Amino acid sequence: MAKTYARLRIKESKNILNFNKFSYIASFVTSSGRIGTTNKTTFQSNGLGWEVSFELNANEVPEKTTVSFKIFLPSGTEYNPKVIIYGHTYTKDVNSKPVITEYDLKLFQEKTKQEVKHRIPNYRIATTYPVPEGLRMVAYLRNEIKSAGVKNGIDPQIVASIVFEEKMHGVWAYRKNLLSYYLNLGEVYPHNSYGFGEMQVGLAAELMNIDKRNPDWLYETFVVICTDATVAMDLVAKNVVRGGNLLGRKLTLQESTVFYNAGEKALNSWIKGEIPKERLENAVYARSWKWQEAIKLALNGDIIAIPDGCEGICRADPERQVETWKFDPSLKLSL
pLDDT at residue 311 above 90? no
pLDDT at residue 115, as a whole number: 45
Q: What is the DSSP secondary structure assignment for residue 47, as one 8-state letter?
A: S
Contact 90, 8 (CB under 8 A): no
Contact 223, 239 (CB under 8 A): no
pLDDT at residue 120, as a whole number: 44
Closest CA to 166 of 142, 137, 188, 189: 137
Q: The pTM is what? A: 0.81
Closest CA to 194 of 215, 220, 216, 214: 220
The CATH topology of domain 133-333 is Lysozyme (1.10.530)
Least confident piece of the model among 20-24, 101-105, 125-129, 201-205: 125-129
Q: Where do you find CATH 2.60.40 in the chain?
A: 3-103
Average pLDDT over residues 113-119: 46
Locate all alpha helices (DSSP H) within the chain, ordered by sequence. 113-117, 133-140, 142-152, 156-166, 171-183, 201-207, 217-227, 229-247, 253-271, 277-282, 292-298, 330-333
pLDDT at residue 322, as a whole number: 73
pLDDT at residue 172, as a whole number: 45
| Cα dihedral 283, 284, 289, 291 in deg (nearest 10) | 130
Selected residue with higher pLDDT from 325 and 95 = 325
Q: Where do you find CATH 1.10.530 in the chain?
A: 133-333
Average pLDDT over residues 104-131: 62
Distance CA 192, CA 254 (A): 23
pLDDT band at 335 (very low <50, low <70, confident <90, very high): very low
pLDDT at residue 176 above 60? no
Q: Cβ contacts of residue 186 below 8 Å, gap of 6+? A: none
User: What pLDDT, in 10s, does the model give residues 19-37?
Assistant: 999 999 999 999 999 999 9
Architecture of domain 3-103: Sandwich (2.60)
Selected residue with higher pLDDT from 127 and 68 = 68
